[in-house]
Each structure stands twice: as structure tokens, then as C-alpha cells.
Amino acid sequence: MPDVGTIAGEAADKAGGFLTRLGGLIQATNIPKQFRDVDFTGLFTNPWFLVPFIALIGYQIYKQTFRDLFIVVLIIGIWYLSGTEYMQTLIVNGEVQINKVLPVVFGGAAVLGLIIYLFFGRSQ
């Protein structure tokens, strides 16, 4: 009979190796730095971004897909909030500030619950 502990250990090692490689890839591509350094004003004044974005919003209004439009607005809002000074002070000297993290966690759970409700809770 196979040893379940050994099998579980091997699976955890493989998953850990995958997550380590994925974390290395994310750090090598500087994705966290790119998120922190995004010029919000520059992005929304750049015609190469603005024209397709306005076309997307206009199309969603034309098709009356207000659910999808609301989700796009939520995603942009979350992205904007992730760059605020409040989010930058969640970790100070390598320590998580629990009194600042809890509102973010509950707010994220509320937004996720709202998105799940929009996708699955309402009938079309």
C-alpha cells in the first residue's frame, strides 16, 4: 500500500517548486515595480490606451451590459487604490500592520462577493 504521507510530501515539493519558479518569474519581469510606478494621469491621457478604452466603454453602454461596465469600474478602482499611500504603509519594517490590513481584507471580500453576486446571483 502506498504511503500517503510520502505522496503528499512529493506533491507539496512539486507545488512549492512551481510557486518558487513563478515568484522568480514575477520578480524578474519587475511586475510589482511596474504596478507601483504606473503613471495614472499619463495612462489616461495616452491616446493609444484612451481610444480603445473609450471604445470598450461605449460598446458596453451601447449593448447595455452595465454589469460588465460596473466590473471594469471596480477593477480600475482597485488598481487605483493599490497605489495609494495607505496601501504602501501596510508593511512597515517587514512587519504587517494588522490594524491596516483588516479593512483591506474585508473590503476585498466585499468586492469579491459583489462580483460573484453579479455573475451568479442575478438572472438576466
Question: What pTM value is reported for the model?
Answer: 0.60
Asked if residue 57 lies in contact with residue 72, where contact means CB atoms within 8 angstroms, the answer is yes
Please name the amino acid found at residue 97.
Q
Closest by Cα among 119, 117, 114 to 68: 119
pLDDT value at residue 27: 76
Residue 122 phi, psi dihedral angles, 5° rounding: -100, 145
How confident is the prediction for the chain on average, in pLDDT?
A: 81
What is the arithmetic mean of pLDDT over 25-41?
74
Closest by Cα among 48, 39, 113, 114 to 80: 39
Please name the amino acid found at residue 6.
T
**Chain segment 102-115, per-residue pLDDT in tens:** 888 999 899 999 98
pLDDT grade, residue 52 (50/70/90)?
very high
Task: Give the three-class secondary structure for 119.
Answer: helix
